[in-house]
Structure formats: structure tokens, C-alpha cells
């Protein structure tokens, strides 16, 4: 129980494998192709409301590219962000929250775009709004809109519930509707954490020889100090 609680206290790292696509299947497929070397030059801009999964996708793609032996960097942008000197030599760079870049950062991002394009490498960028609504310098906005542009759609409650039920089935048990509803109300709402909670709940069920029920889930979440169980 102690180890399971510790696991839940530290959410799993975002990967392309633990991203549940929902309505983002095409985007997820293209990012997997990029990570697998299926495309050489790629410029992609993704946007969506906070919590939709855009940061997960950027970090997951960078992780996959690195695991496949290429160089990649994830950079969270903010006012005052300075890009690393060697970033233009990467095979892929992911710039998150580009809409927060100050004037100097925008100039650096513009030159980074041109350098990566000249080397036929990849740039992924993410922001809260589509390119046409970005309040950035015009030449940078133009370049961010030249490649593929996707809105990242947040998962609905129905999408999350379906993903939990399907994941439980792959582990060999049926997730009762009331347990699914409890997890969606009380556990962390991002999908990697929800799936990790379900895995821990399954292991706890096997260890204690008790069925997966709401009381069992409540015990696990309380032990981990997660949510308001």
C-alpha cells in the first residue's frame, strides 16, 4: 500500500503512449510519425485551453524523439525566456506557451524557426490561441501558421470514462460505473494520472484480495493524499 501511495503522489511523466487522443487522433498520429522519423521536416503549431493536453504532447514527442536516438529539447516560454545557444542544432525543438514570449524572445524564436527550416529539422510550438490571434510580431506569427495547425480538444467526461473502462478491461477486470465516477470526481483529472490510479487500484485489489469498489478506491486515494477522498 505504501509503495502504491507513493506512486500516486508522483504523476507519471507525459509520453505519447499515455496520451489518450479522444478527438486528437490525427494530431497524435502525426506526432508519432515525427518521433519515429517518418517525416524529416515538420512545423506544427497546436493550441487549446489550459489542461487540454498540449504540454503533454510536446513533452511526449520530445521524449519519444530522444528515445529514438535523435536530439530534441522542450522549452517552456515566458517573459524573459532565453533560448539555449545550441538549440538551433537540435533535430527537434518544442516551444510551449509561445504567446508568452517577450520581444527579445520573439526575435530568438523567429531566428530559430529559420535555422531549423534551413536544416530541415522540426519545430513544435504551442499556445493558447490559434496563430491568427497571437499577439506576437507579424513575421513570427506568419511562420507559425505556415505548417500544420491543430486545435487540441480536451477530453470530455465521457471520453475519460470510456478510456478508464477500456484500460480496466485490458487489465482483466470490469470497472463498475460508480467506481469510474468516483475516480473522475476525486482523483487527479489528467489521463496519465487517472490511468496510473487505475493500475494502482488493480494492484491493491489483487494484494488485498478485495474487489475494485468505491471504498477500496477511497482507501488508496486517502493513503496517497490525492484529491478529497
Question: 22-151 belongs to which homologous superfamily?
Answer: P-loop containing nucleotide triphosphate hydrolases (3.40.50.300)
What angle do helix axes 191-208 and 2-9 make, rounded to 10 degrees? 180
Q: What is the pLDDT of residue 190?
A: 84
Residue spans of the domains in the chain: they are 2-12+155-224, 22-151
pLDDT number for residue 13: 86
Dihedral of alpha carbons 215, 221, 227, 228, sign: positive
Rounded Cα distance, 200 and 162, in Å:
18
What's the pLDDT at 191? 86
- Tell me, what's the pLDDT at 108? 97
Q: What is the pLDDT of residue 68?
A: 95
Q: 72 to each of 55, 58, 141, 144, 211, how far by Cα in Å?
A: 15, 11, 23, 19, 44
Residues of the chain falling short of pLDDT 70: 1-11, 40-41, 226-229
CB 72 within 8 A of CB 66: yes
| Distances, alpha carbon 146 to alpha carbons 90, 121, 143, 163, 166, in Å | 20, 15, 5, 34, 37
pLDDT of residue 185: 93
DSSP assignments along 53-66, one per residue: SHHHHHHHHHHHHH
pLDDT for position 90: 96
Name every residue whose Cβ is closer than 8 Å to that of residue 214 and which is 6 or more positions away in sequence: 178, 179, 182
CB neighbourhood size of 103 (10 A): 9
pLDDT, residue 34, reads 95
Q: Looking at residue 86, what is its pLDDT?
A: 92
Amino acid at each position: 500500500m505504501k509503495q502504491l501511495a507513493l506512486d500516486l503522489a508522483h504523476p507519471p511523466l507525459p509520453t505519447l503512449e499515455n496520451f489518450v487522443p479522444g478527438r486528437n487522433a490525427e494530431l497524435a498520429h502525426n506526432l508519432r510519425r515525427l518521433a519515429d522519423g517518418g517525416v524529416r521536416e515538420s512545423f506544427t503549431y497546436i493550441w487549446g485551453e489550459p489542461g487540454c493536453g498540449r504540454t503533454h504532447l510536446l513533452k511526449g514527442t520530445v521524449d519519444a524523439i530522444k528515445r529514438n536516438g535523435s536530439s530534441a529539447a522542450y522549452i517552456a516560454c515566458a517573459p524573459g525566456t532565453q533560448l539555449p545557444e545550441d538549440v538551433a542544432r537540435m533535430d527537434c525543438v518544442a516551444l510551449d506557451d509561445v504567446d508568452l514570449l517577450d520581444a527579445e524572445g520573439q526575435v530568438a524564436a523567429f531566428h530559430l524557426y529559420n535555422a531549423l527550416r534551413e536544416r530541415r529539422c522540426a519545430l513544435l510550438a504551442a499556445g493558447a490561441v490559434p496563430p491568427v490571434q497571437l499577439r506576437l510580431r507579424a513575421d513570427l506569427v506568419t511562420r507559425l501558421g505556415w505548417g500544420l495547425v491543430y486545435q487540441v480538444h480536451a477530453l470530455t467526461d465521457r471520453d475519460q470514462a470510456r478510456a478508464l473502462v477500456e484500460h480496466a478491461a485490458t487489465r482483466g477486470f470490469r470497472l463498475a460505473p460508480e467506481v469510474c465516477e468516483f475516480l473522475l470526481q476525486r482523483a487527479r483529472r489528467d489521463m496519465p494520472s487517472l490511468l496510473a490510479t487505475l493500475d494502482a487500484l488493480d494492484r491493491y485489489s489483487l494484494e488485498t484480495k478485495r474487489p475494485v469498489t468505491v471504498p477500496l478506491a477511497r482507501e488508496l486515494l486517502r493513503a496517497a493524499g490525492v484529491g478529497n477522498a
